[in-house]
Amino acid sequence: MHWFRQRKFFIILISPAIIYLIITAFYPLVDSLRLSFFREGEFLGLRNYIDAVTREYFLPNLVRSFFWSISIVLGQNIIGMTFAVLLNSQIKYRNLWRGLQYLPWLLSPTVVAVLWISFCLPVRGLINTTLRNLDLLSLMRDWLGDPQTALPAIIIADTWHWYAFFTIMYLAGMQNIPESLNDAARVDGANEWDIFRHIAFPLLKPIILTASIIQFLWVFRFFDLIWIMTKGGPIKASEILATQIYKTALFRYDFNEAAALGIIMSFIMLIFVFLYLYYYRRGEA
């Protein structure tokens, strides 16, 4: 009782939010966990899990999920870091340039899908039109309909969409690097690349790690863009775990196996959550 009285205000203020999140986010998760052990009301133990991982498409989907997230996080890191370095220097109208390069970040995935589908159209799409004008007919293809290029095309679209997350994080991190440090290095004859490699990069390392893990988790579970652009196709060329779960549940109506697959995906993500918390704690200490 004493414990409660001391924390009365705190608990009154936070409980609406916490109760809301337990009902709307954690109850469905726990309910999925329960469902993953059953089929038609009968307890099956790990049967659904075994079914899910022994599907011949499980392993390719898993590999594709990692390929998808890792390439996007890498690509966005490169673009985001380049922008951060360029926009951290004393250039004219800096705020305007910063504002402009954030713009893709504010778009809806649906809008991004519409734009990139219009680029990738087989006959009239911008990419093929450009190739035709350059007389590079052999390179023309149905970018989203070709199993070899479908996933890379969506990866490029998504890299473009959310690279600015890294610009934001790295610009915020660079603000904490004192300018005097860079000046001192310049006096000692270091060029801009040396300064980046030996001062900015080591100091930004914790942010690079945490931002990459946050973005990895976000991209790994991301569904919208792939769904709108290819629905995981052609055949299964752009299928990842997130789209597979959705198909298993809403197309095959196998909610039990979908739940099992979802729980497996959650465990994979949990590893990265712990990694994040580890670096986050270290950053705070």
Handedness of CA 28, 33, 36, 42 (dihedral sign): negative
Which of 1, 103, 137, 285: binder of another protein (CB under 8 A)? 103
Torsion over CA: 33, 39, 43, 46 (sign): negative
The count of residues in the chain is 285
Q: Find the shortest distance in angstroms from Cβ 123 to another protein.
A: 9
Binders of another protein among residues 81 to 100 (CB under 8 A) are 82-83, 86-87, 89, 91, 95, 97-100
Q: Binding another protein by CB under 8 A: which of 39, 44, 71, 129?
A: 129
Q: How far is CA 78 from the centre of its chain?
A: 15
Between residues 151 and 241, which has the closer beta carbon with respect to another protein?
A: 241
Output the smallest distance, CB 47 to another protein, in A.
18
Cβ-count burial of 183 within 10 angstroms (0-12 exposed, 13-18 middle, 19+ buried)?
Answer: exposed
- The verdict on 113 binding another protein (CB under 8 A) reads yes
| Alpha-carbon gap, residue 213 to 108, rounded angstroms | 22
125 binds another protein (CB under 8 A): yes
Give the residue among 263, 171, 151, 261 at the shortest CA–CA distance from 211: 171
Minimum CB–partner distance for residue 148 and another protein (Å): 22
Whole-angstrom distance, CA of residue 150 vs CA of residue 58: 19
User: Residue 79 interacts with another protein (CB under 8 A)?
Assistant: yes
Phi and psi, residue 42, nearest 5°: -105, 135
- One character per residue 36-75, x = contact with another protein (rule: CB under 8 A): ----------------------------------------
Please state the closest distance from residue 180 (CB atom) to another protein, in A. 18
Nearer to another protein, 32 or 237 (CB): 32
